[in-house]
Amino acid sequence: MGGKGRLVIVSNRLPVKIEGHPGKWKVTHSSGGLVSALTPVLRDRGGIWIGWAGTTEVLDLKTLREILGPASKQAGYRIYPVRLSREDVDSFYHGFSNEVIWPLFHDLQTRCRFEPEYWKSYRKVNGDFAKAIKKHTRPEDYVWVHDYQMVPVARLLRSSGVQRNCVFFLHIPFPPPDIFLKLPWREEFLKDFLEYDFVGFQTMRDRRNFTDCLKALLPDSRVTGRGPVATVTAGERRVRVAAMPISIDYRSFRDTAKSAKVNRILKELKSQVPWENIAIGVDRLDYTKGIPQRIRAFGEACRSFPELRGKIALIQIVVPSREDVPAYQELREEIEKLVSSVNGEFSTPGWIPIHYMHKSVSREELAAYYRLADIALVTPLKDGMNLVAKEYCACQVDDNGVLILSEFAGAAAQMHRSAILVNSYDIQGMADAIHEAVQMPLEKRKSRMRRLRAGIRRQNVFWWVDNYLRASTGKALVDFPEASMAPLFHALMKRAPEASTK
């Protein structure tokens, strides 16, 4: 790989989305773990981000430049949108990505809809992404493709005759063979992974599941090596597969948590929720995050341990997600019913047990809520990593706070020694864990939190990227300087009109 290669991130969603209507377009920030993790990296080093801008409107180049130009300039890297039609969004995004792979890979196969049309659309849209990569990148660039929506990109790029250094990272878990084998297109899908030069997973468990599936479906494949990076040989392909746990920009969270603005918000919050113990849950609205189970567990804690009543409150913040999908609307209703049922059962004048918010909050508000909370409830049913667990710890600037963590979150592999681990399907077990957290002596809380924070400080998101780049290309993050780049959209303009948003 030459010295001038740029860092190119490819993901289904861009870190910004376009909303509104003609004459009144606006750009907002996307939320979610992938964007949270990668934004600080590109902001630091510059580069290119290729993805969908979240709208199905057909926008001409001039309008796109007007909308995305300032966002790109502010972000410090280039943004190239790929256009998706309404049908693409229905079939590729809501369909194959979110009704097949998402539930299957989170062990929730009864939620899957294995529609043949979804598979066709998935490959078609991945073909569109491959074309965008061909158009906006050079042979020496480092193309880093992200997550389950984009698995076939490398194969489609290669089959169109384009050679790129292409690596992949899976943000969600990889399931064991008994679950993966239910996928009707299992062999093709597995082979798609093998078209990358390097494939990263969040944990050793995911990597092992992947190689176990390879052994089951491609018996001629061979896996060598036992450390974090192993090598798979399958036919002509030789691919390195690794366990590389993602992380957060620790310093940025810590510094935000200490800032004057956060101290002001915190003071105000403390006067509004004055109870001795505050627990917090922060999640995207998603059935994998275990929100109903958590609310039931909190109710059970109030029921089983009467001494907690009047002294503890749960603040549950849910960021709206996939709002136009019926299953997500039902989940929202279920959560709201459960919250009102627990509040109805236990509230007294002057005490409300659960404070529920269905909205996105700013980074400063989030840090203030994290600081306010003595206990974090991070209890997904299954999760690739879960960044909230790490963000919460980074914001515990007084080393206070107890992390209650699901053993099914990827984060448990790194944080299990100093968190209270729970089975997120076990309501009584989680209620007991809340009680244990409340009773934990201060010195024990602090020493555990110090250990957790030291781990995240060391293994932060820059450590993750650096390791990834070193393992996959032998280069480090500092080897990707933002060289003198042509003005935004310069390349697009030269190729107009065929280069609109496609």
Residues labelled catalytic: 171, 383
d(CA 413, CA 236): 33
Smallest separation, CB 221 to ligand ADQ (Å): 26
Residues contributing to the site for ligand ADQ (CB under 6 A) = 31-34, 36-37, 171-172, 246, 282-284, 317, 319, 360-361, 366, 383-388, 391
DSSP secondary structure string, 276-295?
A: SEEEEEEEES-GGG-HHHHH
Taking the least distance from each CB to ligand ADQ, the nearer of 172 and 312 is: 172
d(CA 151, CA 194): 10
Smallest separation, CB 248 to ligand ADQ (Å): 7
Assess contact for 320 and 358: CB atoms under 8 A: yes
Three-class SS state of 404: strand
Smallest separation, CB 35 to ligand ADQ (Å): 8
Residue number of the CB closest to ligand ADQ reads 33
DSSP secondary structure string, 69-121?
A: HHHHHHHTSEEEEE---HHHIIIIIIIIIIIIIHHHHTT-GGG----HHHHHH
Taking the least distance from each CB to ligand ADQ, the nearer of 302 and 317 is: 317
The beta strand positions in 159-311, using DSSP E, are 165-169, 198-201, 222-224, 229-234, 237-243, 277-284
Smallest separation, CB 36 to ligand ADQ (Å): 3
User: Which one-letter amino acid corresponds to residue 448?
Assistant: R
d(CA 61, CA 214): 44
Taking the least distance from each CB to ligand ADQ, the nearer of 42 and 387 is: 387
Residue 32, by phi and psi: left (phi above 0), alpha (psi -120 to 50) or beta?
left
Taking the least distance from each CB to ligand ADQ, the nearer of 78 and 171 is: 171
Taking the least distance from each CB to ligand ADQ, the nearer of 171 and 453 is: 171
User: Which one-letter amino acid corresponds to residue 46?
Assistant: G
Smallest separation, CB 361 to ligand ADQ (Å): 4
